[in-house]
Chain A
Amino acid sequence: EIVLTQSPGILSLSPGERATLSCRASHSVSSSNLAWYQQQAGQAPRLLIFGASTRATGIPDRFSGSGSGTDFTLTISRLEPEDFAVYYCHQFGSSIFTFGPGTKVEIK
C-alpha cells in the first residue's frame, strides 16, 4: 500500500500570496494516478487536479500541479479568500486508493 505524506500540515498565508503544498509517496506513483482535492468545512472534497498536472473542469488557472515519481506539488499562485481550505493529495495505483493527511491553508 502506498502511503502519502503531506507538508506542511498547516500553511498560514495572506490573500494574494503564493501557496506551495507538497505530497510525497512511499513508493513511485504513476502521474496519471495522482490527484489533488480541496475541501471546505462541511463539504465534500472537490477535485482540483488529476493526472498530477491537469486542472479539472471549472478550476481556475491559479491552481497548478506538478511532479512525478514520489514527489508532487500543488501550487496556488495568488490566494483568493475562497482558497483557504484543506487540501488532500490522492493516488490509486493497482486499484488501492489512498489519501494524504492533508494541508490546511489558513489566513495569516
Chain B
Amino acid sequence: QITLKESGPTLVKPTQTLKLTCTFSGFSLSTRGVGVAWIRQPPGKAPEWLAVIYWNDDERYSPSLESRLTITKDTSKNQVVLSMTNMDPVDTGTYYCAHYGFLGYCSGRLCYSLSDWGLGTLVTVSS
C-alpha cells in the first residue's frame, strides 16, 4: 500500500521561505520510472503542479514558478523536500505530494500517472 504524508509549517509570513517534506512508503524512489511531485491548490481553485523529481535525480519545475522552487530527495529516508522562496499571500493553499508511477499498459504503451496523493497540508501566508 502506497502512502504519502506532507509536513511543514501551516503559517508563513510574506517573503519567508516555505519548506515542506513529503514522507512516503510503499514504493522506492530508486525504482526506474518513479517520481514524486508537488501540487498545490488555492481555496476553491484547480490544482496547480509545482515540481517533480524522478528516480534518476531529474528535476522539473513549473515554468511560472521555477525561479522560486527547489525539490530534493533523500532516498534512504523515503522523503522529498520542496522549498519555495519569497512566499506571498497568493501562495496560500493546500499543498499535496503525489506518487508518479507505472500503472500498466495502455494501447500497448507504458502508462504512468499521479496515482497516489497525500492528504495535503494547508499553508497560509499572512503577516
Contacts and interface: CB of A to CB of B under 8 A. Distances in A.
B11 interface: no
Contacts of A52: 106
A51 B60 CA distance: 21
A98 B115 contact: no
Contact of A51 (B46, B109, B118): B109
A26 B103 CA distance: 26
A103 B104 CA distance: 27
Main secondary structure of the interface of B (DSSP, over half): strand
Given A1-B63, A44-B118, A47-B113, A102 B106 contact: no
Q: How large is the interface on A (under 10, 10 to 19, 20 to 34, 35 or more residues)?
A: 20 to 34
Contacts of A102: 46
A44 B120 contact: yes
Interface string B50-68: 0010000010101100000
A99 B46 contact: yes
Contacts of A50: 103, 106, 111-113, 115
B117 interface: yes
